[in-house]
A and B are shown apart, each in its own frame.
Chain A
Amino acid sequence: MDNGVLFKTFGIYKSFGPTQALINVDFELRRGNVCGLIGENGSGKSTLSSIIAGILKPDKGRMYFKEKEYSPQSMLDARKSGIGIIVQEAGTLSHLTVAENIFVGDLKRFEKLGFVNEKQMYKEAEAILHKIGVDDIDPAASVDSLNFEDRKIVEIARAMYTNPEILIVDESTTALAQKGRKIIYNLIKSLQNENKAVIFISHDLDEVMYICNTVTVLRDGVKIQTLSRDEMSVDKMKKLMVGRELTNNYYRADYDGTFGEKVVLKANRITSEDGLIMNLNLELHEGEILGIGGLANCGMHELGKILFGASRPVTGEVIHTPSNTVLKKPHVAIRKGIGYLSKDRDHESIIINASIQENIALPLLDRLKKLGLLSGKKEKEIVSQQIGALSIKCISGKQFCTQLSGGNKQKVAFAKWLARQCDIFIIDCPTRGIDIGVKAAIYSMIYELKKEGKSIIMISEELPELIGMSDRILIMKNGAIAAEIPRSKNVNDSMLIEYMI
């Protein structure tokens, strides 16, 4: 079998505004290889795969595919050259049929005398679905009638119909249940047998161990190392991903997991609208950092929204215990001194197209009144105080958030609630896609808040963060709390994962 190099990149650079997403990345893929691409959030793995798939263009650098220079202009261009991608959150086009979704952008291939030959389109769609091992999806059905899982399969078919020589799987499996995973695993196997290649991106290192025969580790946009099959182990990969910077003083140093007696927030038997959370009870105490973790679809992000009153639970209620108020809307929660940081920073936490000042002052407007009118002076004072305290890198409070890096945007989002002097913070993935420096700052800030007697609920996908910061960790599974783990030296990742699956 020919094990030659199929694909190669030289010195790829890419930056988004002030953030360097990729720095001088050389990457190589051989025939018959399934190469894992791993790294923490923000390490650049999705950026690299997007560049290879033609979604993004590199700032600098060259790519070679089958020994020819390769510079795709679009996703379709890449697909036509033989590189397909299944992305994390691409989505399907509603109102269109399954077949139309598979061949979108490429319907010219079915054109005869200017008309699209529907019969042939449906036939080919059926063939491609059959080839990837799905027989229960009707190509003429509207995608709106499919469930989430089957829509993902339609996306897989979209990537596969051109018979790609390289398939990129970008964290698609996390969202999939058994059926979808099996399809993807089978696809990967058959591509490998045909002497083609796969780039597999996943957070789940055990899955990477199971699927891949090489693995490339990225950290902060830099390629760290490529491991061969014999060198691969979960521990080694983890070490490479996290790097040396991650020592203990990064998180809080103490193992004193004590907190106040007083319950400040209580969830009674709540059930979420999507059914992911069912009859869940929870209590948050004064001066407590409560960590909540679980697999991607365990409903923990929805839980955060429900606790803040942003989502209405189907059953049960959330109570702010000191005032005995039921929290039904965000503005009620805010009035009771609760702040919420969404996982989706750019779309839910801050208004990108507004200045830092406008963002920070927004939840605070009722306190900026002077004779019934907003006081610009007071506003400026509070905002510049927050900018200073959090050392937000900016020219002035008037600067727009579009120009800030991820970490500074997150600081702005935090500043909103700090300026309001909240007592309870519900923070969802507070360090997602943020560089190490800001991360450390956020951790120490959270710890400071705890010491001041504030209460924090920290929802996170990163286990080290949960272990490193929480007084108490709740692991969610099947809509309920599967385990409650108090702070101790002995807690480790595998222990938590055990509870999750």
Chain B
Amino acid sequence: MEAKRDITHNVKTNFKLRLDKISRNNMELRQALPFVGLLFIFLFFLIATRGRLVAASNLSNLIEQCFTITLVAVGASFIYACGLFDISIGAVMALSELSIAYLMKTGDTPIILIILIAIGTAVFCTIITSIITSVLKVNVFVSSLCMMFICNGIVTAAVSEADIYISFQDYKSANSPLLKAIVLIVMVGVGWVIFNKTRLGRDLKALGGNETAAALSGVRKVKTYILAFVCLGVCIGIAGFFSLIRVSMLSSSTGGGLGLNIFVAIVLGGFPLTGGSQSRMISAIVGALTLTLLQNGLSIMSMDPSWTHFIQGILFLIIVGLSYDRSKGKFIL
């Protein structure tokens, strides 16, 4: 009897050890999965579109499409790293576009000034969100929700008479895919350096891991949160500028759904939603690229947009389902 129990116990412990090992391997697998997913989707569409995916005409398209989402995802990775969230991203981008749309209509303001105003507006909004969150202690979901309502309201009011059009000719030079590619690469580079090679990135990850312990190690919470939102604001502002030039109009639907798209991209890339130590900027970029490829690929295959969303949703759930860290078990919310 006793011996039998011992054997079952041993078997159990062995099994447990094996499980531990599997789960550790799992962690590596989980981290690798988004990359595999990206590669898979790339290859799939490469074959399915018979190479049209990488044709010159589509490459510039790809750059256009991935520009906004990748750039903003890089900015968003700063706030996601400390476990925060911002649903107002799209609305803030629309507002920053509005702030420069009138200036661009006349076309005699220096381009640098315009970019600065776009960035300034976006940063102003994100700073307010961060202050409401960190100083006034309102849940970030709610504070960004309110920010979204306010920005949306202003933009909708401004375009209620008619959509605002800007003259495309004056800013043609700023609409080249090459320029955008360069800007994107520079921004990703700068973002990577700030995220990995300065105090800010480390402090953010520490705050995501454990706010109290981080504060007791000298991390200044309010300052760090505000800086993170500033990074996001800068990216939104730049993205807004280029997107306004490309579309050359502003309507009430500008920026709609961008916040959630960023959320989808971040999760797709395997970025932990609670932030913390395992936050990596590359996850945000991989997620953004995956999303872009998916949308672009499906549209080349002249798939109905609703199918695109449908497939996107299911794929999103599959990738998250496979890569999500379930250590919280049933206590997840």
Chain A positions near chain B (C-beta within 8 angstroms): 59-60, 308, 310, 329-331, 334-335, 340, 342, 347-355, 358, 361-363, 365-366, 372-374, 400, 416
A365: chain B residues at CB < 8 Å are: 199, 202-203
Most-contacted residue by chain B among A59, A361, A365 (CB, 10 A)? A365
A310 and B215 contact, CB distance less than 8 A: yes
B306: chain A residues at CB < 8 Å are: none
B218 and A330 contact, CB distance less than 8 A: yes
B197 and A374 contact, CB distance less than 8 A: yes
A372→B199 CA distance, assembly (Å): 10
Which listed residue (A60, A335, A347, A362) contacts B217, Cβ 8 A? A362
- Chain A nearest CB: distance from B3 CB in Å? 13
- Chain A nearest CB: distance from B204 CB in Å? 12
B218: chain A residues at CB < 8 Å are: 330-331, 334-335, 362-363
With A351-B213, A354-B209 as given contacts, are A362 and B277 in contact (CB-CB < 8 Å)?
no
With A358-B206, A358-B277 as given contacts, are A351 and B214 in contact (CB-CB < 8 Å)?
yes
Which listed residue (A329, A351, A361) contacts B209, Cβ 8 A? A351
- Chain B nearest CB: distance from A338 CB in Å? 10
Which listed residue (B193, B213, B219, B277) contacts A347, Cβ 8 A? B213
A358→B202 CA distance, assembly (Å): 8
A342: chain B residues at CB < 8 Å are: 213, 216
B9 within 8 A of partner (CB): yes
A363 and B217 contact, CB distance less than 8 A: yes
A373 and B198 contact, CB distance less than 8 A: yes
What are the 5 A-B residue pairs with the smallest beta carbon separation, nearest first? Answer: A351-B209, A354-B277, A334-B218, A331-B218, A373-B197
A299→B140 CA distance, assembly (Å): 33
B206: chain A residues at CB < 8 Å are: 351, 354, 358, 362
A355 and B277 contact, CB distance less than 8 A: yes
With A365-B199, A373-B198 as given contacts, are A330 and B209 in contact (CB-CB < 8 Å)?
no
- Chain B nearest CB: distance from A347 CB in Å? 6
With A60-B9, A351-B210, A351-B276 as given contacts, are A308 and B216 in contact (CB-CB < 8 Å)?
yes
Which range contains the number of B residues in contact with the other chain?
Answer: 20 to 34
A331: chain B residues at CB < 8 Å are: 218-220
- Chain A nearest CB: distance from B11 CB in Å? 12
A289→B233 CA distance, assembly (Å): 49
Most-contacted residue by chain A among B203, B205, B213 (CB, 10 A)? B213
A354 and B276 contact, CB distance less than 8 A: yes
Dominant SS at the B interface? Answer: helix
Looking across the interface, which residue of chain A has its beta carbon closest to that of B325?
A353
Looking across the interface, which residue of chain B has its beta carbon closest to that of A350?
B213
1/0 contact string of B170-198 vs chain A (CB within 8 Å): 00000000000000000000000100111
A329 and B216 contact, CB distance less than 8 A: no
- Chain B nearest CB: distance from A377 CB in Å? 12
Which listed residue (A348, A354, A372, A373) contacts B216, Cβ 8 A? A348
- Chain A nearest CB: distance from B48 CB in Å? 40
B25 within 8 A of partner (CB): no
Looking across the interface, which residue of chain B has its beta carbon closest to that of A344?
B212
Looking across the interface, which residue of chain A has its beta carbon closest to that of B13?
A59
A362: chain B residues at CB < 8 Å are: 202, 206, 214, 217-219
Looking across the interface, which residue of chain B has its beta carbon closest to that of A341?
B216
Chain B positions near chain A (C-beta within 8 angstroms): 5, 9, 13, 193, 196-199, 202-203, 205-206, 209-210, 212-220, 276-278
A365→B201 CA distance, assembly (Å): 11
Which listed residue (A60, A340, A358, A416) contacts B205, Cβ 8 A? A358
- Chain A nearest CB: distance from B284 CB in Å? 19
B199 and A366 contact, CB distance less than 8 A: yes
A362→B202 CA distance, assembly (Å): 7
B217 and A416 contact, CB distance less than 8 A: yes
A180→B199 CA distance, assembly (Å): 49
Looking across the interface, which residue of chain B has its beta carbon closest to that of A329?
B220
B220: chain A residues at CB < 8 Å are: 329, 331
A416→B276 CA distance, assembly (Å): 18
A355→B27 CA distance, assembly (Å): 14
- Chain A nearest CB: distance from B274 CB in Å? 8
Which listed residue (B198, B205, B213) contacts A348, Cβ 8 A? B213
Which listed residue (B5, B196, B216) contacts A349, Cβ 8 A? B216
B276: chain A residues at CB < 8 Å are: 351, 353-354
A340→B278 CA distance, assembly (Å): 26
| A–B complex contacts, Cβ < 8 Å, 27 sampled | A330-B215, A331-B219, A331-B220, A334-B217, A335-B218, A342-B213, A342-B216, A347-B210, A348-B210, A348-B212, A349-B213, A351-B210, A351-B213, A351-B214, A351-B277, A352-B210, A353-B209, A358-B206, A362-B202, A362-B214, A362-B217, A365-B202, A365-B203, A373-B193, A374-B196, A374-B198, A400-B277
A372→B209 CA distance, assembly (Å): 25
A373: chain B residues at CB < 8 Å are: 193, 197-198
Looking across the interface, which residue of chain A has its beta carbon closest to that of B16?
A59
B219: chain A residues at CB < 8 Å are: 331, 362
A366: chain B residues at CB < 8 Å are: 199
A421→B133 CA distance, assembly (Å): 35
A362→B210 CA distance, assembly (Å): 12
Which listed residue (B5, B202, B212) contacts A374, Cβ 8 A? B202
A365→B204 CA distance, assembly (Å): 13
- Chain A nearest CB: distance from B316 CB in Å? 25
A310 and B205 contact, CB distance less than 8 A: no
B209: chain A residues at CB < 8 Å are: 351-354
A348: chain B residues at CB < 8 Å are: 210, 212-213, 216
A329→B222 CA distance, assembly (Å): 12
A363→B202 CA distance, assembly (Å): 10
A342→B199 CA distance, assembly (Å): 23
A358→B197 CA distance, assembly (Å): 13
Extra 16 A-B pairs, beta carbons < 8 Å, given A353-B277, A365-B199: A59-B13, A60-B5, A308-B216, A310-B216, A330-B216, A330-B218, A342-B216, A347-B212, A350-B213, A351-B206, A353-B209, A353-B210, A354-B205, A362-B214, A365-B202, A374-B199
A340→B217 CA distance, assembly (Å): 8
B277: chain A residues at CB < 8 Å are: 351, 353-355, 358, 400
- Chain B nearest CB: distance from A166 CB in Å? 25
A330→B199 CA distance, assembly (Å): 17
A335→B218 CA distance, assembly (Å): 9
Looking across the interface, which residue of chain A has its beta carbon closest to that of B272?
A353
B5: chain A residues at CB < 8 Å are: 60
Looking across the interface, which residue of chain B has its beta carbon closest to that of A361?
B202
